[in-house]
Chains A and B, each alone.
Chain A
Amino acid sequence: MCRDGRKRESAGQSRPLSVQDRRRAVRGASGRRAGPAVCELLSFGVRFLPVRAALLQQVRVLFFPVFPSGSVNITLTMQKGDQNATFLCRYSIPRGLNFRCKLAIKSVQTVFRSLATLEKTVEKCHIGLDEQKDRLTFTLHCKHGLLKTHNLSYQDSESLEAVFDKDSCANVFRAQPRVLVDTVVHFPTSLEEVTLTLSDERMWVRNHVEDEAERSKAVLTELCLAADEFDHFDIKLHNSITFCLKEFRGLLLFAESTGLPVTMYLDEPGSPVVLSVTDSVLEGNFVLATLSDDHYLRQSNRGADAEQTRPPDDFMNDDMDAYLIAMDSSVAPGPSTADPPSLAAFRKPPAPNYRTRTYSEEEEDGEEDPERPPDKKFRSLFFGSVLPPSPRRSSQPFTTQEVLASDSEEDEAEAD
């Protein structure tokens, strides 16, 4: 990477692609759970595709040539913050050759393992195709006349093309990668899938839980993003899309490293979701499969949410006064001599006001003598007998109270 930001080359000259950039491109393309990469040498560019047939996911990074001919120049622009640098490299392919092979991306990464060493010692990198022996030869020309040759065997492959059409997607939005990264950080790393629910002004991101059984044990997380957090937010179809979070995280890592905004194209549930990272020189399309509609029909009511207008977030409108008033009105005066089996019992006789005062009195006593540990508190807390629950009960019926969680009245009856 050109650290001082100078534009190194102009068109017409050719220089081998600096190894660290090659490595970065490879690393960025790999993602975290990519399968063996497909490396395609085509007449117009080099394409790296990690393919996972199960999820039909691809990364396509296209390098656009400057001079298409038998001898081809590739321009790669890397951008980091304010700095950018353009590198050219040259490769020649006999005309008419359309060759596809598959290489494990980890093997390619081992060639460019240590960036620091590469920057110090390697002058150029030469890649050659040896069809007879079925291998790609990477030769690193290092200082002092040292030549490191890596022979990587490849496998023939069929290219898997994801069928998608970005322009026909109903919903599009674009955001800085930071916004999306800050969103996914709230979800546990073990989470498999995430659901996006879209409306005109907002996007909700929720974790997706498959099993009904899981639902009662799992933490349900939900995050709401407003339209103005996005660079572009155009939603025509209100629906919910579910896709794999793990892959999404990996892709966001790549997007963050390029610093480019991420555009997402969404359509119906079941249609793939496309994440696009685009530059003048670079175009990356990440295609993710989504859960289909009939899957939603099997889930209880989740799909219906998308159609309704979500009620305004009640936490934003939380009114303490209203809450306190509600509390006052629902609590009917009970017998004040009741002895709750709580802390108060261990301190002094009951009656709420007195209890509060007593506690603060004890605290003051404790503070007078800083030498001693708060033994009085302990005494009051831990010494003394454990009182049985009071047999006397308020005759007040419980139905006037708003019970937020299940606590059936038959339990109360049994407690006696």
Chain B
Amino acid sequence: MKFRGKIIDVACLNHFTRVVTTISKLTKTCVLRLTPDNLFFILSGKVTNGGVSMWCELLQNNFFDEYQMEGVSSEFNQICLEVSPENLSRALRTVQCAKSVKIKLTKKHCACLTVAAELPTLSSASRVVTHDVPVEVIPRRLWQEFKEPVMPDFDVSIYLPPLKMLKNVVDRMKNLSNFLVIEANMNGEMNLKIQTDLVSVSTHFKDLGNPPWGEDASQDGGPSQRGDPELLAEATVDIRKLQQFLVGQQVNPSKAMCNIVHQNVVHLILLHEDVSLQYFIPAVA
């Protein structure tokens, strides 16, 4: 098993660091899956996470100037590592001014992802700083837990309002209640509602637009897609989970969507140029 990647471009390093930092705000540990073309940060939905799951996909070509990996075998050409994204993010953040940054899978006292950066100095020799981030290799028999999530058979799919606006609303609502109802329809309308004994607050968004998945996109969910566009699908979620998702977002995505399966799950999708992030929040009963 080998992995070696090198980032030379400052903008790429910056972007990569921001992605890792976003992931670190969403979860304390996650699985980093390496394939010849992609990197994935995966969090599988478990009771311990509150059922939240995350899938973040990066195109390695857009970040790394050099990238070589050799998986467990030629047949299973992947590497799965359990890592703390916070450690990785901290290591990357200190080396933003580096001439080049290499990330390597190494074996020190345990398996590590070593971030080695060459720093510019006034003297002849450049300074090398290495951060050994401990990781745990995930054996192949557990890989099926980290499969790509299947696109849920959603009832409504809608574009999200600007994330900053959404975050402001959710922040205020969080002070009033722990549970938030997200409802939307295929007419570009979305409502966020909270209800307590004393007060109920709802925020309405209009003209958001709905992603045109098209006929071929809906496999079996045909009837619900072509139903009444005014019909609202809703899901009640733990507001803190939504807030956690919004807090971590540092860059405005080119597309932000939300799929709702009525009273089941909220599926958030953020698309950037070379990164896609999906986040599943289960509905509470």
Contacts and interface: CB of A to CB of B under 8 A. Distances in A.
Interface in A135-163: none
A237 interface: no
A315 B128 contact: yes
Nearest to B214: A375
B131 A219 contact: yes
Given A228-B124, A405-B105, A340 B75 contact: yes
Contacts of A330: 70
B91 A341 contact: no
A411 B141 contact: yes
A196 to B, nearest CB: 15
A327 B70 contact: yes
Contact of A404 (B1, B66, B73): B1
Interface string B117-140: 011011111011111111101011
A217 interface: yes
Query: How many interface residues does chain A have, given as a range?
Result: 35 or more
A207 to B, nearest CB: 10
B75 A219 contact: no
Given A375-B214, A412-B140, A382 B150 contact: yes
A138 B72 CA distance: 73
A396 B271 contact: no
B37 interface: yes
B111 A404 contact: yes
B109 A373 contact: no
Interface stretch (A15-23, A98-106, A281-289, A386-394): A386-394
B48 interface: no
A405 B137 contact: yes
B78 to A, nearest CB: 6
A401 B20 CA distance: 30
B234 to A, nearest CB: 23
A142 to B, nearest CB: 46
Contacts of B122: 229
Interface in A328-378: 330-335, 338, 340-343, 346, 356, 359, 371-375, 378
Contacts of A222: 129-130, 132
B111 A405 contact: yes
In the complex, which of the residues A335, A356, A386 has the most CB atoms of chain B within 10 Å of its own CB atom? A386
B285 interface: no
B174 interface: no
A389 B147 CA distance: 11
Contacts of A393: 75
B1 A315 contact: no
Contacts of A359: 37
B75 A188 contact: no
A223 interface: yes
B150 A386 contact: yes
B140 A229 contact: no
B74 A228 contact: no
B216 A389 contact: no
B73 A401 contact: yes
B128 A372 contact: no
Contact of B129 (A217, A221, A334): A221
In the complex, which of the residues B2, B72, B135, B144 has the most CB atoms of chain A within 10 Å of its own CB atom? B2
A46 B22 CA distance: 52
Interface string A382-414: 111010111001101010011111111001101
Contacts of B104: 315
A404 B106 contact: yes
A386 B149 CA distance: 9
A185 interface: yes
Interface stretch (A3-11, A48-56, A109-117, A317-325): A317-325
A327 B147 contact: no
B1 A226 contact: no
A320 B31 CA distance: 27
Interface in B96-119: 102, 104-112, 116, 118-119
B76 A405 contact: no
A186 interface: yes
B252 interface: no
In the complex, which of the residues A188, A218, A324, A340 has the most CB atoms of chain B within 10 Å of its own CB atom? A340
B94 interface: yes
B212 interface: yes
Contacts of B133: 219
A297 interface: no
Nearest to A384: B150
B38 interface: yes
Contacts of A324: 68
A396 B211 CA distance: 47
Nearest to B108: A220
Contacts of B198: none
Nearest to A324: B68
Given A229-B122, A327-B70, A405-B111, A346 B148 contact: yes
A342 B74 contact: no
Contacts of A342: 35, 76-78
A405 B107 contact: yes
Given A216-B110, A404-B107, A394 B74 contact: yes
Given A216-B109, A389-B144, A406-B111, A185 B77 contact: no
5 contacts: A373-B211, A374-B271, A381-B148, A389-B140, A407-B137
Given A342-B76, A343-B38, A375-B217, 9 more contacts: A186-B95, A221-B132, A222-B129, A229-B127, A323-B68, A338-B75, A394-B75, A405-B1, A407-B137
Interface of A: 182, 185-186, 188, 215-226, 228-229, 313, 315-316, 318, 320, 323-324, 327, 330-335, 338, 340-343, 346, 356, 359, 371-375, 378-379, 381-384, 386, 388-390, 393-394, 396, 398, 401-408, 411-412, 414-415
